[in-house]
């Protein structure tokens, strides 16, 4: 069995390596996550059930998901006065992200773009009075970042959601057509919500046909949800999703089509901002996740959630900046490294460059050298072996400071003497570049 030949746009997507996910909508003003409405409704539902003495369903009935007037009125305070598309794009760029996937419309049904009359629940009809997606794509193009559009397929606003599924699909297709035709070339679509009605006939062919007609090279991604990560589904799908979890290697042998992989991840515990969510991942954890995605050839899509009027809070901005600093030293390995069939014990692994001239050795939990008793953390450094390294290397050096590393190579074993960090530095993951002998 063979591996299917990949379409160029899918290979291009894989090489982007790292993207920034942005969840922003009316819910951001509340600061309790993007599912805040659902949870409020759930509390009401549980109360009702208790009153009536009935056992509640695990998920609340569809009819109870409909937006309340109180929720809808969040549009009246949405000014977007702190939304600076260019700043957002530069945050991504300085982090080393090559693309941004922005929620053009989340489950609440509010559109950041001009729905051109489909309904009035959009940014131009809010006090913001702007098409925020227009600002977003313009800023992306200015700074060479590829815009991707997240679009919810599970929608709590549109009346048809609750009584006429075909009418809802029609609304969805028309919305996507607007996004395909009004904003120039985009990187792709990221759909989210088919998991809400797994047995419904989503007529995905019709939706994807709209995209292929106007944006033939757009990536089509449809979130399979937490439970079915890595599931492929419709043949038009170009990448699988690994939502908030470890990506697994894709075995493409015998597949009808070559597809990419992408793992989206929260920076703390919520996608939309949680004002009281302090469970931020550490820079080390985020860097490790980025590396582990690349280990299996998947992209890492790291999420931030701006505040109500569009400002990225200082803590999230700073975390992204730190990752950006790491990327300035090691980004080459993230963009250019492809999975390599070597093995090792522990977390360390090797990638090989697209041009076949280098190997990138990713080293985890490295200690600081000569630090006596004044530092804590990893203590490990010294010689370390990789198996099944079929390329002969001529030199190896740390990417962050160019220090040459001693190594020996025999048969298919490569043994490297990894020096520890110099005092004053600890990068989370350290990368060494090996030159392959011609």
Query: Residue by residue, what is the 3-state secondary structure of 40-61?
Result: HHHHHHHHHHHHHCCCCCCCCC
CB-based burial label for 253 (10 Å; 0-12, 13-18, 19+): exposed
Nearer to ligand GLC, 23 or 311 (CB): 23
User: Site residues for ligand GLC, window 290-319 (CB under 6 A)?
Assistant: none
Is residue 114 near ligand GLC by the rule CB under 6 A? no
Is residue 104 near ligand GLC by the rule CB under 6 A? no
- Pick one of 114, 122, 155, 243: the residue that binds ligand GLC (CB under 6 A): 243
Q: Which residues contact 171 (CB under 8 A, 6 or more apart)?
A: 118, 158, 160
By DSSP bridging, strand 337-339 and strand 239-243 are: unpaired
Query: Burial code of 145-162, b = ≥16 C-beta within 10 A, e = fewer?
Result: bbbbbbbbbbbbbbeebe
Asked if 311 and 301 count as a contact pair (C-beta separation under 8 A), the reply is no
Is residue 263 near ligand GLC by the rule CB under 6 A? no
Nearer to ligand GLC, 280 or 380 (CB): 280
Residue showing tokens 């998901």: 65
The sign of the torsion formed by the CA atoms of 153, 155, 160, 162 equals positive
- Shortest CB 398 distance to ligand GLC, Å: 35
- Pick one of 28, 223, 342, 358: the residue that binds ligand GLC (CB under 6 A): 223
Q: State both tokens at 295.
A: 């280990």
Nearer to ligand GLC, 196 or 371 (CB): 196
- Pick one of 16, 19, 32, 34: the residue that binds ligand GLC (CB under 6 A): 34
Q: Considering CB under 6 A, how many residues would be counted as binding ligand GLC?
A: 9
Nearer to ligand GLC, 14 or 192 (CB): 192
- Pick one of 108, 131, 135, 192: the residue that binds ligand GLC (CB under 6 A): 192
Select from 62, 348, 22 the least CA-distant residue to 193: 62
- Shortest CB 349 distance to ligand GLC, Å: 26
Select from 289, 400, 413 the least CA-distant residue to 342: 413
Nearer to ligand GLC, 99 or 381 (CB): 99
Is residue 225 near ligand GLC by the rule CB under 6 A? yes
- Pick one of 271, 326, 335, 398: the residue that binds ligand GLC (CB under 6 A): 271
Is residue 264 near ligand GLC by the rule CB under 6 A? yes
Binding site for ligand GLC (CB under 6 A): 23, 34-35, 192, 223, 225, 243, 264, 271
């Amino acid at each position: 069995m063979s591996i299917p030949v990949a379409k160029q746009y899918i290979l291009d997507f894989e090489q982007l390596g790292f993207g920034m996910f942005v969840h922003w909508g009316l819910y951001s003003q509340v600061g309790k996550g993007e599912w805040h409405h659902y949870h409020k409704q759930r509390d009401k539902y549980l109360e009702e059930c208790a009153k009536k003495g009935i056992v509640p369903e695990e998920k609340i009935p569809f009819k109870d998901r409909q937006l309340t007037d109180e929720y809808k009125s969040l549009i009246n305070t949405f000014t977007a006065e702190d939304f600076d598309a260019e700043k957002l794009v530069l945050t991504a760029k300085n982090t080393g992200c090559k693309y941004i996937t922005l929620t053009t419309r989340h489950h609440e049904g509010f559109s950041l773009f001009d729905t051109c009359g489909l309904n009035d629940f959009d940014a131009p009809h809010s006090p913001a009075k702007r098409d925020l997606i227009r600002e977003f794509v313009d800023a992306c193009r200015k700074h060479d970042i590829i815009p991707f559009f997240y679009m919810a397929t599970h929608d709590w606003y549109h009346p048809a959601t609750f009584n006429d599924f075909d009418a809802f699909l029609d609304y969805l297709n028309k919305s996507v057509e607007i996004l395909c035709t009004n904003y120039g070339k985009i990187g792709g679509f990221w759909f989210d919500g088919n998991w809400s009605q797994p047995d419904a006939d989503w007529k995905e062919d019709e939706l994807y046909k709209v995209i292929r007609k106007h944006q033939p090279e757009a990536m089509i991604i449809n979130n399979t949800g937490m439970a079915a990560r890595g599931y492929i589904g419709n043949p038009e799908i170009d990448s699988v999703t690994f939502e908030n979890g470890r990506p697994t290697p894709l075995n493409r042998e015998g597949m009808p089509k070559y597809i990419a992989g992408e793992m989206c991840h929260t920076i703390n515990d919520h996608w939309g901002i949680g004002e009281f969510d302090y469970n931020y991942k550490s820079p080390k954890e985020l860097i490790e996740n980025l590396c582990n995605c690349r280990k299996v050839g998947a992209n890492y899509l790291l999420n931030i959630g701006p505040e109500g009027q569009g400002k990225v809070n200082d803590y999230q901005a700073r975390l992204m900046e730190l990752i950006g600093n790491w990327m300035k030293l090691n980004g080459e390995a993230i963009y250019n490294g492809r999975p390599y069939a070597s093995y090792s014990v522990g977390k360390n692994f090797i990638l090989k460059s697209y041009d076949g001239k280098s190997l990138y050795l990713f080293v985890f939990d490295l200690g600081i050298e000569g630090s006596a008793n004044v530092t804590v953390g990893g203590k490990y450094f010294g010689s370390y072996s990789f198996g099944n390294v079929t390329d002969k290397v001529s030199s190896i050096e740390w990417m962050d400071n160019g220090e040459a590393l001693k190594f020996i190579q025999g048969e298919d074993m490569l043994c490297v003497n990894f020096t520890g960090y110099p005092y004053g530095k600890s990068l989370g993951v350290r990368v060494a570049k090996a030159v392959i002998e011609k």
